[in-house]
Amino acid sequence: MPSSIPDIVISRLPIYLRALERLSQEGHEVTSSHELGKRLGISSAQIRKDLSHFGGFGKQGTGYKIAFLREQLRQVLKVEREWEVALVGAGDLGSAVARYKGFAERGFHIACVFDSSPEKVGRSIDKFSIQSIDQLPSIIQERGIRIAMIAVPAEHAQEVANTLVGAGVKAILNYAPINLSVPDDVHVQYIDPVLHLQRMTYYLT
């Protein structure tokens, strides 16, 4: 049933959710597909159509009650609960990620941090004590963690991904600039800032 909803629709929901949370912070209580669309540079029809996949969240003539719509989107995306996330790689980027409060604020708790370097294992980043990569499988399995972030050099990313998949992880956010091969039931998202920059230079004269 949920498989009938296009991926591209799902991928826009977090954008809507983020905008709703901001509107809420700014003191708004209701909004409309037009207002949201204007903020996001998306047509109002698109927003209404996307939302209608999941039922009628708005009221004709009035718009959407922000608190309600936000709650509904949270449930659709399964982010009304909290998720535990494993972080692999405690280098420059990994440390910044571990210290970043934005994950926990939005429901993603970093539950453990792994590294392979004996220099780093045992040390701490904030409240996180860095653990050996050797312990990854047992810890992840015990805690039932299904989401992980990879912040190791590109050369080691695939091997880390294999370990994660073996331990039962089903969703990976990969910061290393390399494509990963994983089984079909494992989801991967990529963050590579250079790639984003390269997407813009084409348009510069």
Ligand X SMILES: NC(=O)c1ccc[n+]([C@@H]2O[C@H](COP(=O)([O-])OP(=O)(O)OC[C@H]3O[C@@H](n4cnc5c(N)ncnc54)[C@H](O)[C@@H]3O)[C@@H](O)[C@H]2O)c1
Partner DNA sequence: AATCTAGCGTGAAATTCGTAACAATGTTAT
Partner DNA sequence: ATAACATTGTTACGAATTTCACGCTAGATT
Binding site for a second copy (CB under 8 A): 2, 10-11, 13-15, 17-19, 22, 39-41, 76-79, 83, 85, 92-93, 95-97, 99-100, 102-103, 106, 108, 146-147, 149, 154, 170-171, 173, 177-179, 181, 187, 189, 191-204
Q: Are 19 and 70 in contact (CB under 8 A)?
A: no
Taking the complex as a whole, the smallest distance from the CB of residue 87 to DNA amounts, in Å, to 31
Q: Given candidates 31, 33, 72, 116, which one binds ligand X under the rule CB under 6 A?
A: 116
Alpha-carbon gap, residue 176 to 94, rounded angstroms: 11
Q: Which residue's CB is nearer to ligand X, number 153 or number 168?
A: 153
Q: Are 33 and 48 in contact (CB under 8 A)?
A: yes
Q: Dig out the tokens for 187 from the structure.
A: 């989801």
Q: Given candidates 66, 70, 175, 182, which one binds ligand X under the rule CB under 6 A?
A: 175
Q: Dig out the tokens for 163 from the structure.
A: 């370990």
Q: Using DSSP bridges, classify how beta strands 83-88 and 108-115 pair: parallel, antiparallel or unpaired.
A: parallel
Alpha-carbon gap, residue 71 to 76, rounded angstroms: 9
The tokens 């990879």 sit on which residue?
Answer: 150
Using rule CB under 6 A, residue 125 touches ligand X? no
Q: Which residue's CB is nearer to ligand X, number 47 or number 140?
A: 140
Using rule CB under 7 A, residue 201 touches DNA? no
Alpha-carbon gap, residue 82 to 119, rounded angstroms: 32
Using rule CB under 7 A, residue 9 touches DNA? yes
Q: Which of residues 13-32 bind DNA (CB under 7 A)?
A: 32
SS3 100: coil
Q: Which residues bind DNA (CB under 7 A)?
A: 6-9, 32-34, 42-46, 48-49, 51-52, 56-64
